[in-house]
Amino acid sequence: MSEESSRLQETFVRLCEIRSPTGEEREVAATIAAELGALGLEVVEDDAAEAADAGAGNLLARLPGRSEEWVMFCAHVDTVPHEGRIEVVREDGVFRSRGETILGADNKAAVAVFMELVARHADQPPPVGIELLLTVAEEQGLRGARAFDVGALRSGCGFVVDHASPIGEVIVTSPTQQQVVADFAGVEAHAGIRPEDGNNAIAAAAAAISRMELGRLDEETTANVGVIAGGTSSNVVPGHCRVTAEARSLDAERTAEVAGALTEACAWGATEHGCDVDVRVEELFRGYEVPPSSPSLALAEAGLRRAGFEPERAATGGGSDANALIAAGFDCVLLANGTEANHTPDENVSAGSLDAMLEICEGIVAEAAEAAAGTD
Active-site residue identified among 25, 78, 355, 362: 78
116 noted as active-site residue:
no
Beta bridge partners of 278: 183
Alpha-carbon span 358 to 74, nearest angstrom: 13
Q: Which of 296, 36, 43, 281 is closest to 172 using CA atoms?
A: 296
Q: Which of 111, 95, 10 is closest to 350 using CA atoms?
A: 95
How many CB atoms are located within 10 Å of the residue 209 CB?
18
Q: Are 157 and 72 in contact (CB under 8 A)?
A: yes
The DSSP bridge pattern shows strands 157-163 and 331-336 to be: parallel
Alpha-carbon span 372 to 359, nearest angstrom: 20
Write out the DSSP string of 124-168.
Answer: S--SSEEEEEEESSTTTTSHHHHHS-GGG---SEEEEEEE-S-TT
Contacts of 31 (CB under 8 A, 6+ apart): 14, 15, 18
Helical spans, DSSP H, in 177-320: 201-211, 252-272, 295-306
**H or E stretch covering 289:** strand 288-289
78 noted as active-site residue:
yes
Q: Which of 344, 323, 322 is closest to 110 using CA atoms?
A: 322
Alpha-carbon span 367 to 127, nearest angstrom: 10
Active-site residue identified among 25, 106, 131, 138: 138
Alpha-carbon span 355 to 367, nearest angstrom: 18
* Enzyme catalytic residues: 78, 138
